[in-house]
Every structure is written in structure tokens, then in C-alpha cells.
Amino acid sequence: MIYAPGRGALNLNWGTAWRVMQGVWAVVGPLVGVWVGAYLTGRRQKQEWVADNKKEEYRELVKAITGCLSAYVQVYAVQTLRSGDDERRILGVDANFVEVVRSRLFIGREVRALDVEGRFIKIKQTFREKHIVELFINDTDALLDKISAAASADISSE
């Protein structure tokens, strides 16, 4: 029995309680389903958005490194005489590289953990001193392989 103020004791059986709960669930159930679905969908969309941004940032990083590689090989290995334009080109790709490395929002932690900037600066310095194209390309490829592996691990963990 349930006591109702002003009405005394109410005789409520389980069949009636069950029908009331079914009626309430008929109204509340779909709302709960919509809320859970919206939460799960929003969470998944955010994960996809972050993964897409990480992919784009890794792409930009690889592009900046390969741009440097190409310019350095052209200016320091192919040409014997360098002009002011060549030096400006090198300064431009170096500036772009530093800007790209330091402006990563989604992969900054991974880039710092790999020490991409420091490692590539050492690779470029060695090339400027020794002018060994094969070594420069191999060292750069090794760095790009590490970046690629980090990207794969990072994006697949999302």
C-alpha cells in the first residue's frame, strides 16, 4: 500500500505499477535513446576531426622537409655557383620548415618527442659541410620514416 496525502492509503498492485512505468518509459525512452545516440555520434565525429587534422599536419610537415631536401640538393649539390636568389630560396625553405615544425597544434607533442627540428638541422648542416647527396637523402628518409611511423601509431590510436 502507498500512502497518498489527503486520500489515505492507496491500494496499488504491481500490474498497475508496471503499466505506469511502461507509459513513462514510452515517453522517456526515446529521449534517452536520442541523447545517447547524439553523445556517441558527437564523440566519434570529434575523434575523426582530430585524426583528420593530425593527418593534415603530418602531411604539411613531410612536405616542408621534402621541400628543404629538394632545394638543398639543387642549390648545394647540382649547382657549383650560388646566386643571391639561391641563398634566398634556402632561407625561404628553412623559414618555412621552422614555421611548420613550430606551429603544429595537433601533433606538436609528437614532433617535439622526435626532435624533428633538431635532427633535420643536423642533417642539413652535415650536408652543407660534406656535400654528400646520398647521405643527405638517406638521413632525411630515415627521419621521414620515423615521422611516418609516429603518424601511423598516433592516428591509429584515435
Residues 19 and 52 reside in one and the same domain = no
By percentage, how much of the chain surpasses pLDDT 90?
A: 56
**Nearest of 75, 73, 96 to residue 85 by alpha carbon:** 75
Q: Rounded CA gap, 24 and 125, in Å?
A: 73
| Residue 79: all three cell numbers together | 649547382
What are the cell numbers at 111? 614532433
Domain that holds residue 24: 2-32
Residue 37 domain-assigned (yes or no)? no
Residues 69 and 6 in one domain: no
Q: How many separate domains does the chain show?
A: 2
Residue 131: inside a domain, yes or no?
A: yes
Residue 39 pLDDT: 79
Q: pLDDT tens across 6-59, in order? A: 665 555 677 777 887 888 888 877 887 878 777 777 778 888 999 999 999 999
- Cα within 13 Å of Cα(128), Cβ side: 11
pLDDT at 76 over 90: no
Residues 26, 97: one domain? no
Residues 134-140 have a mean pLDDT of 96
Between residues 23 and 88, the one the model is more confident about? 88
3-class SS string, 18-71? HHHHHHHHHHHHHHHHHHHHHHHHHHHHHHHHHHHHHHHHHHHHHHHHHHHHHH
Higher-confidence residue: 50 or 79? 50
Q: Would residue 39 count as lying in a domain?
A: no
Claim to verify: residue 83 and residue 149 sit in the same structural domain: yes
Q: Is residue 145 part of a domain?
A: yes
Contacts of 147 (CB under 8 A, 6+ apart): 58, 61, 62, 65, 114, 116
In a domain, 20, yes or no: yes
Query: 101 and 64 in one domain?
Result: yes
- Residue 38 included in any domain: no
Question: How far apart (Å, rounded) are the C-alpha atoms in residues 132 and 16?
Answer: 88
